[in-house]
Structure 1
Amino acid sequence: MYFEERKNKNGESFYVAVERYIDPLTGKKKRASVVYRTNTVRARRQAERELVDKIDDLISKKQGYFQGKSMLTFYDLKNSWFDTWRTTVKPQTVKREELVTDRLSELIADDILLEKITPLLIQNCLNEYREKYHSTHSTMQHIKCTLNKIFDYGVLHNVIAFSPSRVVKLSATVEEKRAKKIRLEKKFLDEREVKALLSELKGSRNQNYYDLALFLIGTGCRIGEASALTETDIDFENHLVTIDKSLQAHDLKVDDFYLDTTKTEASERVEQLPEFVIQALKRVIKRNKQFDKHMENFPSEVFRKSDFLFKTEYGVPITSHSFREILGRINKVLQIECREKYGFEWIKNAVPHSFRHIHITVLRNDPTVPLKEVQARVGHVQVETTNGYTHLMSDSQEKSVEAISRFVEKMGVSESKA
């Protein structure tokens, strides 16, 4: 360390403490300095201390670029990852992941040193946990997914050289694969099943459920996106709907429902609407006005006033839970009466997400609709594309509108005016 006397533009003296250090990123010598005003022993010693601290900070900051935090145990790594990760996702996602991280404490002891964690240890821990609790394959996949995120975080922060969980493979049993296939197939409906389901919904007391089903089929929206819609989101003149929010209602009381962002950035979109959807929306708006008038004439504590489009008979927005309950009742009715009423056995389990699947399936089965158009329409990003389209010549979604309209015409849905 050395000291220099210098002068400013006014000719006044000031002093500089200078020291060189090795840059940990480049290995080259660099220069750091601290200014002090009086040339006294006390001032010089203070400048020395400040310069040492400054150089320590510079080196620590640059080492942080490649060395990361000091973490020794699985507990250290797990907590550091969770504290960082939780700021990037929604509250309900954090709640679900907290359940998994609690399981991890039993799966892998918190005090195990990171240097002792190997792929074999991970594999054995997963096997023991599954045998002990008879966990399903999907549960084990979720646990392993969380482990992957934790260890990837450790690799990124240079705490571990590689992720020991990445090379571990989970294999489902034949029975589990068969059961999963059956569960998926029960949610996905063919044309005759869609027709029967719509017929039953049309006969329900609250016709908003029927028009909601038509809206979901016609747009491919997620139920949370549809639940959040208000009349201001609909451009009737140009047949457009703006999807830019989602209603969060899971495990919440009605008065605690809140609007959140869509599932992903790609989910924010503008969709063109078929005529049958426009007519469904007009019917919904007409009913809502009738409900508002009824609520004014016959006030009750059970009624709620809101601007949401799709509402229950009490004025609260239709959520995934309430729609699932209606569909559950219809599933039970169809299991008993489908053969007599529609000529086939009902073996399906229709859920709100079934309508999104119907929409995407219809469009993907139509050779005139480009994959990119489907992706833009439903806000769904796929890593791998399955055709030769690299871009759309137009932002129009006319092909999608035509395809889904043809499908709904087969269901016998008319475009009667509201």
Structure 2
Amino acid sequence: MRKQKETLFCDYFDEWVETYKEGSISDITLQKYLMVGKTLREIVPKLLISDLDRRIYQKILNQYALTHEKQTTTDFHHQIKACIQDMFHDGLIDRDPTYKAVIKGKEPKKKKKKFLQTDELSKLIKSLDLNSGINRDWLILITAKTGLRFAEVLALTPADFDFENQLLNIDKSWNYKNTKGFFQPTKTPSSIRKITIDWQIVGQLKPLVEELPDDQPIFIEKDKNGNRKRVFNSTYNGYLAKKCKELEIPVISLHSLRHTHASVLMAAGVSIHSISERLGHADVGVTQEIYAHVLNELKEADNQKMIAILTQL
């Protein structure tokens, strides 16, 4: 145990990623952890596990925050914290140095609107051509109505739809960044889930996929030689952007449709816990952080409702 405590923290983090993360998370998420390890090696290359305490950990976060926005610093903190909590449970440290860590960060740049309002989403959905077979419009509809990640939508097969019980099974994703493309595990184990789908998807999609192979992705086209065509996220984002401009609504990306899905449900009063499970987040805290702006708006609306009710007493 003493020998492990004398290990460099950055070395331990790299070994922890190799042991617990490689093969259990998506390549994209793994790259983020590897980048964190690289950053730790730059900030604290000689820090020993035995010297890691709350003060030093806060300094690590503060230095990272000098060149990153608060949300990015929060992500950095969560990835390191996961490793440190394992260290704590394994008895390598006596106290959790991440306790009450203060998250700082650069002033965020002005960002484009990341989601649509309910009426704007309705306008988009009504404009979709759903009568010409499986097409890009169907992918947009399913993303908007399920909140699935792009890679999860691409991996959908006819077998994933339980039309009778109005359920959709999400247990894999599609590696579209590889030239050949193939099924891969979901982003995290918590991303494996079953969600409810509405009557429109059941009624209109069922006859379109009934004759398709149960185990083949419905949105991956094949060329004349029978080989699967490569899919580019930018192609769909460009297509969606064009539709948004034509409809004179804010231009958003496919991932923003996922945000829109969650925001619309929150505004309608669906619980944060149900939304978190539907999106496949690891825990409700992740959902609360991502959609803090929506929750703040809803809180303000609730305050006005409470004031109105109390005033009438």
SS in 2 for 1:70: helix
Matches within 5 A, 1:225-374: 225-236=152-163, 238-253=164-179, 255-261=180-186, 263-265=188-190, 267-269=192-194, 271=196, 273-282=197-206, 284-285=208-209, 307-312=216-221, 314=223, 316=228, 321-322=232-233, 324-331=234-241, 334-335=244-245, 337-339=246-248, 346=249, 348-366=250-268
Partners of 2:101 and 2:276 lie apart in 1 by 32
- One-letter amino acid matched to 1:100: V
Q: Quote the offset at 1:285 in angstroms.
A: 3.0
Tell whether the 8 Å contact from 1:187 to 1:350 is kept in structure 2 after alignment.
yes
Name which of 11, 14, 17 aligns with 1:82: 17
CA shift, 1:97, in A, is 0.9
Out of 125, 147, 152, the position equivalent to 2:80 is: 147
The structure that has the greater radius of gyration is 1
Distance 1:365 1:330 in 2: 23
CA 243–117 in structure 1, closer or farther in 2 if over 3 Å, else same: same
CA separation of 1:283/1:195 partners in 2, compared to 1, >3 Å: closer, same or farther? farther
**What CA deviation, in whole Å up to 9, does each residue of 1:150-170 have, x standing for no partner?**
332332222222233434312
For this pair of structures, how many residues does the alignment match?
A: 279
Q: Is the CA contact 1:206–1:312 (under 8 Å) kept in the aligned structure 2?
A: no
The question of whether the paired residues in 2 share the 8 Å contact of 1:331 and 1:349 is answered with: yes
Q: Which runs of 5+ in 2 are unaligned?
A: 286-313
Structure 2 counterpart of 1:190: 117
In structure 1, the residue matched to 2:54 is 119
How much identity, in percent, do the aligned residues show? 21
Amino acid at match of 1:85: Y
SS of aligned partner of 2:37:
helix
**Alpha-carbon deviation of 1:68?**
8.2
CA offsets 1:225-278 (integer angstroms, 9 cap, x no match): 332222223344x1534414222315311x24223247434732253x322112
Contact kept, 8 Å, 1:311 with 1:317, in 2: the verdict is yes
TM value normalised by structure 2? 0.69
Match of 1:99 in 2: 35
Deviations 1:117-154 (A, max 9, x none): 343333344444554xx333333333322332333233
Alpha-carbon distance in 1 for matches of 2:10, 2:52: 12
Tell whether 2:98 aligns with 1:160.
no
| CA distance in 2 between partners of 1:166 and 1:371 (Å) | 25
Relative contact order (C-alpha < 8 Å, sep 6+): which is higher?
2
Contact 1:310 1:318 survives alignment (8 Å): no
Alignment match, 1:5: none
2:184 is paired with a residue whose SS is strand
- Which residue pairs with 2:307 in the alignment? none
**RMSD value, Cα:** 3.9
Unaligned runs of 5+ in 1: 1-66, 293-305, 340-345, 385-418
Q: Secondary structure at the match of 2:4?
A: coil
TM-score by length of 1: 0.54
